[in-house]
């Protein structure tokens, strides 16, 4: 059968994640990989989860854990998250929380609920590859979200109308963004909120890395800034997407959305149609572990990742040739490297893997218009200090070779 003949038009916009594909190729033990933005499994609170699962199955919660549940999510976890959000400056109740199967599922739901084919999604340039993958199926047009630019709201709206739709949302990761590691300052966040009010847009705040700050002063989430201006979450257009993947466990796939309650109700309908509810057992375990020691776990992770970030920045300073630049993130898991043109990240990767046994993610995949060929993303989260030093030394050797005159 020729499936192509009956596939929906949206299927043509679904592309394999370059990162997912890279991970398949990097199982070779002699390759040092800075490609996957994954937490270090040695930092997972495995013993805490072992205790949590044992306790769940040793008492009356066992039947609840194995049964169907409500689509909104496990109520004790939603109450814990509401208290956590309040501590971040977002007073809310469980009715403002939806549990999702990771924040990636939240992005898919938000693309589905907001985008009609031809509508415009404003995204940072570059932006998180997984967000582009989630939104692509709903056939948007992408436009640049530049928080501190002088571009007028009318210019954005006119370009969206000319493309046959309207601008629907602004998507950004304000803290330690994937892929650049950069943070949007308070003035930039306020500017995005003002733009959203003018254009009547939703704001999707991807906060996957917010807890992983290593230095600098914490900036309130955009949802907190908007509540401070408008008085209540029920008056806000910001949709906060959180995740336990970078702090407790990515494998359990537990994330959440925090937003105005009527939008949460609409997202619940999508959840009911998609998978009924996220795994109750996983939610219960995450709740027990988070309630017992979330801050201690985050403190431990911060210390480890801070040391690795520092080691990578120092190694880049030692080994990179002139003309190469990089970001210096205050948190998160990524450093963004820019190499002199006309060097291309994809071509460099092929040489890096075959000749130098080191890997990274070429930057072009993070740009909706496939520009940025002379950029690449490095992740420091899953490698120890000595491995980071050796991997960056290998990358330095590669770039010194590539920059030699022909």
Q: What is the DSSP letter of 140?
A: P
pLDDT at 2: 83
Percent of the chain, pLDDT > 70? 96
Q: pLDDT category, 211, cuts 50, 70, 90? A: very high
Residue 29 pLDDT > 60, yes or no? Answer: yes
The arithmetic mean of pLDDT across residues 211-229, rounded, is 97
> Predicted confidence band at 240 (pLDDT cuts at 50, 70, 90)?
very high
Q: How far apart are CA 238 and CA 233, in angstroms?
A: 9
What are the E-state strand segments in 6-107? 32-33, 97-100
Burial of 166 (0-12, 13-18, 19+ CB in 10 A): middle
Taking residues 230-250, report their average pLDDT.
98
How many Å apart are CA 103 and CA 369, to the nearest integer? 24
DSSP state of 247: T
Q: Are 203 and 233 in contact (CB under 8 A)?
A: no
Identify the pLDDT of residue 3: 83
d(CA 170, CA 168): 7
Q: Give Cα separations from 166 to 92, 116, 140, 199 (angstroms).
A: 30, 9, 10, 9
pLDDT of residue 21: 60
pLDDT at 229 over 80: yes
* pLDDT attached to residue 20: 60
Average per-residue pLDDT in the chain? Answer: 95
Lowest mean pLDDT among 6-20, 100-114, 152-166, 264-278: 6-20
Q: What is the pLDDT of residues 349-373, one digit of tens each?
A: 999 999 999 999 999 999 999 999 9
How many Å apart are CA 204 and CA 240, to the nearest integer? 6
Model confidence over 70-98: pLDDT tens digits? 999 999 999 999 999 999 999 999 999 99
The Cα–Cα gap between 338 and 293 comes to: 39
Is 345 in contact with 362 (CB distance < 8 Å)? yes
pLDDT exceeds cutoff 80 at 301: yes
- What is the torsional sign of CA 131, 136, 138, 143? positive
pLDDT in tens, 134-185: 999 999 999 999 988 878 999 999 999 999 999 999 999 999 999 999 999 9
Structure tokens at 141: 């047009």
Range list of β-strands (E), 188-304: 202-206, 238-243, 255-258
The whole-angstrom separation of Cα 150 and Cα 146 is 9
- 25 pLDDT above the threshold of 60: no
**Residue 199 or residue 10, greater confidence:** 199
The average pLDDT across 296-308 equals 98
The reported pLDDT for the residue numbered 26 is 56
Give the rounded percent of residues in the chain with a pLDDT score beyond 90: 90
pTM across the whole model: 0.95
CB of 178 within 8 A of CB of 142? no
């Amino acid at each position: 059968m020729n499936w192509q003949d009956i596939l929906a038009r949206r299927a043509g916009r679904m592309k394999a994640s370059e990162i997912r594909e890279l991970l398949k190729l990097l199982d070779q033990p002699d390759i040092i990989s800075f490609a996957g933005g994954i937490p270090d499994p040695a930092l997972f609170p495995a013993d805490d989860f072992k205790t949590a699962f044992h306790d769940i199955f040793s008492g009356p919660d066992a039947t609840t854990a194995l049964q169907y549940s409500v689509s909104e999510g496990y109520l004790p976890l939603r109450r814990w998250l509401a208290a956590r959000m309040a501590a971040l400056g977002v007073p809310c109740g469980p009715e403002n929380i939806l549990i999702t199967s990771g924040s990636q599922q939240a992005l898919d739901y938000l693309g589905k609920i907001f985008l009609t084919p031809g509508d415009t999604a404003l995204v940072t340039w570059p932006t998180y590859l997984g967000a582009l993958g989630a939104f692509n199926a709903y056939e948007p047009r992408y436009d640049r979200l530049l928080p501190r630019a002088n571009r007028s709201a009318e210019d954005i709206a006119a370009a969206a109308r000319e493309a046959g739709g309207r601008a629907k949302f602004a998507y950004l990761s304000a803290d330690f963004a994937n892929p650049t590691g950069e943070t949007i300052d308070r003035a930039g966040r306020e500017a995005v909120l003002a733009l959203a009010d003018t254009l009547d847009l939703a704001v999707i705040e991807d906060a996957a890395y917010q807890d992983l700050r290593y230095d600098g002063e914490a900036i309130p989430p955009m949802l907190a800034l908007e509540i401070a201006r408008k008085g209540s979450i029920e008056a806000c257009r910001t949709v906060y997407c959180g995740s336990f993947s970078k702090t407790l466990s990515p494998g359990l796939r537990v994330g959440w959305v925090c937003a105005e309650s009527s939008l949460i109700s609409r997202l619940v309908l999508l959840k009911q149609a998609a998978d009924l509810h996220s795994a109750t057992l996983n939610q219960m375990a995450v709740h027990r572990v988070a309630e017992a020691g979330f801050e201690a776990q985050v403190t431990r992770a911060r210390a480890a990742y801070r040391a690795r970030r520092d080691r990578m920045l120092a190694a880049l300073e030692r080994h990179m040739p002139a003309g190469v630049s990089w970001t210096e993130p205050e948190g998160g898991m990524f450093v963004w490297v820019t190499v002199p043109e006309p060097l291309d990240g994809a071509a460099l990767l092929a040489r890096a893997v075959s000749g130098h046994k080191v890997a990274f993610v070429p930057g072009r995949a993070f740009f909706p218009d496939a520009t940025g060929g002379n950029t690449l993303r490095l992740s420091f989260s899953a490698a120890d200090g000595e491995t980071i030093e050796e991997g960056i030394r290998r990358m330095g050797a590669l770039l010194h070779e590539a920059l030699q005159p022909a």
